[in-house]
Amino acid sequence: MGALHDGHASLIKKAAKDCDFVVISILVNPTQFGDSTDFINYPNTLEEDAVIANEAGADLIFAPTAEEVYEGDPKADSKNWGALTNAFEGDFRPGHFDGVIAVVDRLFQIVDPDKAYFGEKDLQQIAVVRRVVDEGLYKADIVSCEIIRDENGLALSSRNSRLSKKGIKTALLLSQSLFQASTKINAGLSTEESLNEARKILSDSTHVKLEYINGVNENTFSPSDSPASWTHIIVAAEIEGVRLIDNSRL
């Protein structure tokens, strides 16, 4: 959705290495926002984005209006794919995945890619996009790419630009709690105790509004999945009014 950073550039570079022709789509998609204020405040930096995309190896920037993509007023039909669209991000952002499904479906119709590259920071989104491919019988191979972090471990996000220096420092608690919980679980310690300790770290900070931190299977995102099937620890929290997500592979 624009406001490109090194994380986005890494996707473009990987695509350029793998493919003959790389298209990057840039659209702040209105149907993904349940909060109109969040949509209005989302960074829009197309000129700067074009420079980053070009330097990273993009051959074409596809930057239509929402009306052009949707062929009229932007809208998204409601989709119920169980926990995949209703749990975690689907629970805290009602209608968000309706917008993701609608815009990705249109994008694949328009561009018809052989491969599509998505960052693993939006882990649940990748699972939803894979379902879009299956439902639409698209040929696109969905390539998930690792999270790019700054030197302190903070996952890069377009939303980080809305944080103060103090907020950036506070946001580091997300990755720190994730890594701590993952390390303990991988060492064979109790999943419940490890997650509870991470929850306490985040909940004790007066500057963090924790939404969830939990283990998930990257394919199902069902809260009822056994810890034995978990592939990641995921977290979502609000800092200085900015909503951030992150995850760590087990």
- What are 185-200's pLDDT values in tens digits? 999 999 999 999 999 9
Section 149-156 average pLDDT: 97
How far is C-alpha 167 from the chain's CA centre?
20
The residues that are catalytic are 8
What pLDDT was estimated at residue 41?
85
The C-alpha atoms of residue 160 and residue 166 are separated, in whole angstroms, by: 12
The tens digit of pLDDT for each residue in 138-152 reads 999 999 999 999 999
Residue 177: name the closest of 76, 73, 248, 95 by CA: 248
CA 220, CA 82: separation in Å to the nearest integer? 9
pLDDT class for 210, splitting at 50, 70, 90? very high
Tell me, what's the pLDDT at 39?
87
* 237 vs 104: CA distance, rounded Å: 25
Long-range (24+ apart) CB contacts under 8 A made by 231-234 are 232/123, 233/178, 233/181, 233/182, 233/185, 233/195, 233/198, 234/88, 234/123, 234/124
Domain 158-249: CATH class, spelled out: alpha beta
Domain parsing of the chain, residue ranges: 6-145, 158-249
pLDDT in tens, 95-123: 999 999 999 999 999 999 999 999 999 99
Nearest residue to 132 (alpha-carbon basis) of 123, 122, 142: 142
Q: Give yes or no for a contact between 11 and 117, defined as CB atoms under 8 angstroms apart.
A: yes
pLDDT given for residue 242 in this prediction: 94
Measure the CA–CA gap between 32 and 105, rounded to whole angstroms: 13
Q: Tens digit of pLDDT for each residue in 7-54?
A: 999 999 999 999 999 999 999 999 998 877 888 888 889 999 999 999
Average pLDDT, integer, range 151-171: 96
The fraction of the chain above a pLDDT of 70, given in percent, is: 100
The rounded percent of the chain whose pLDDT value lies above 90 is: 95
Average pLDDT over residues 85-89: 98
* Superfamily of domain covering 6-145: HUPs (3.40.50.620)
